[in-house]
Amino acid sequence: MAIALITGASRGIGRASALQLADEGYTVAVNFHHNIQAATEVIDTISESGGRAFSLRADISDESQVIAMFDAIDRTGEPLTALVNNAGILFEQSTIENLTAERINHVLTTNVTGYFLCCREAVKRMSHRHGGQGGAIVNVSSAAARLGAPGEYVDYAASKGAVDTLTAGLALEVAAQGIRVNGVRPGFIYTQMHASGGEPGRVDRVKSLLPMQRGGQPEEVAQAIAWLLSEKASYVTGSFIELAGGK
């Protein structure tokens, strides 16, 4: 048995990934920040299907909490071989004139620094240099990193652009240590994140502009993540899968 840690696993893409990876035989570490009820529901669903999972409360923007989370994984006695960096925050849309330093720093600390910290701790456990058996990391980015988001979520898009740079650079750094690092770039997916900021119908409003004429489901992203973590993608690193309906 091996552990897959999924940050922000209590809902949306994280939840779908937790269920998918549990079905594929991983013991799933379900990270959450606030919503213990949702995290518990994920664990119960996995358990009822015969899988294994446990919860880990941690704010990934806080270094001490990230370290404590990985220490808790160490105490299980099972190796960590998969990390899905998924946790992130998205505020209501704003033009550049109305952005504050507080908001920008909050987005960057969670969406970028948190990914760096989790990657750092995962590499310490997976890499051959540290006695690990190797593994795989998938960073959840966004189509916004590629397309940009002027006048909407420019701080969010910038944070995801940084995640893409992290993914590409780290893939080169740790390839010889038995670790593959890839990314997925979801577009308009039906998740709570895209329903935030008082915009519950956002995906439905823009789906007609997409070549496939529909929004995506979290399960479709989860399947791509699971493939990147699997041996079926054993020669894939530093790559990105676009999940944006052709946009």
In angstroms, the CA 148 to CA 201 distance is 21
In angstroms, the CA 155 to CA 153 distance is 6
In angstroms, the CA 46 to CA 54 distance is 10
Give the H/E segment covering residue 175: none
Alpha carbons within 13 A on the beta-carbon side of 72: 15
Q: How many residues does the chain have?
A: 247
Are residues 184 and 243 in contact, defined by beta-carbon separation less than 8 angstroms?
yes
Are residues 184 and 236 in contact, defined by beta-carbon separation less than 8 angstroms?
no
| 3-class secondary structure, 170 | helix
Catalytic residue among 26, 115, 153, 156: 156
- Check if 156 is active-site: yes
Alpha carbons within 13 A on the beta-carbon side of 153: 20
Residues classed as catalytic:
156
